[in-house]
């Protein structure tokens, strides 16, 4: 998951349908291991999502568990002082990562962060490098819908995005699905 400031920008890639849902839930709800790992700039581990040591993701945990996720881990993506997002790992059985798995995840997070910086370094200003877009989900529909709500309601795009997230949460829907309905004019937030 790539992030900028406090805003999740999207997912570079996912390994399967469950990991795609985990990323989408975090993007929609604004909580989860990637969000915390990025904001706290440290590894975040929850080895048993069904019986957590610290209850911290009241909206994220139930649908993640329903999808078969039993343990989640977030590793910050950073190079020096540049913070880019977080690598998310999940397990379908409870339990912590082994020492070797934890070390491997740190290496993968470092490699991914460096790849993002190197790929973006050659891109023209105000664009996303072509290599980063392949397989990525930057939620363009959500940003389009936020722009539409912003104009319709005379509010900032940030406020519009907050309203879209709130609507998605309150109606138990993914943000991307709500955005598609706004763009298709099947839904108007007011």
**pLDDT band for position 6 (cuts 50, 70, 90):** low
Confidence of residue 75 (pLDDT cuts 50, 70, 90): very high
Domain at 2-130, CATH from 3.10.350, 1.10.10, 3.30.450, 3.90.580 = 3.30.450
Q: DSSP letters along 96-145, please?
A: PPPHHHHHHHHHHHHHHHHHHHHHHHTSPTTS--HHHHTT-B--HHHHHH
Please give the residue that has the higher pLDDT: either 105 or 5.
105
Torsion of CA 14, 176, 50, 83, to 10 degrees: 60
Take residue 117 and report the two structure tokens written for it: 């910086």
Lowest model confidence (mean pLDDT) among 116-130, 140-154, 171-185? 116-130
Span 100-137, pLDDT tens digits: 999 999 999 999 888 878 777 777 766 555 655 555 55
Q: Domain-by-domain residue ranges, the chain?
A: 2-130, 140-183
């Amino acid at each position: 998951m790539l992030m900028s400031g406090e805003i999740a920008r999207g997912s570079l890639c996912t390994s399967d349908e469950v990991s795609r849902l985990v990323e989408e839930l975090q993007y929609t709800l604004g909580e989860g291991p990637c969000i915390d790992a990025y904001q706290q700039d440290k590894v975040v581990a929850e080895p048993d999502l069904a019986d957590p040591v610290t209850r911290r993701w009241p909206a994220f945990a139930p649908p993640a568990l329903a999808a078969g996720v039993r343990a989640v881990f977030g590793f910050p993506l950073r190079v020096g002082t540049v913070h880019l997002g977080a690598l998310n790992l999940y397990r379908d059985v409870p339990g912590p990562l082994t020492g070797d798995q934890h070390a491997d995840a740190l290496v993968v997070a470092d490699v991914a962060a460096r790849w993002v910086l190197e790929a973006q370094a050659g891109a023209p200003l105000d664009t996303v490098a072509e290599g980063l877009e392949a397989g990525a989900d930057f939620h363009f529909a959500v940003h389009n819908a936020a722009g539409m709500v912003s104009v319709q309601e005379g509010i900032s795009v940030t406020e519009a995005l907050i309203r879209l997230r709130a609507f998605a949460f309150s109606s138990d829907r993914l943000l991307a699905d709500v955005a598609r309905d706004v763009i298709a004019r099947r839904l108007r937030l007011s």
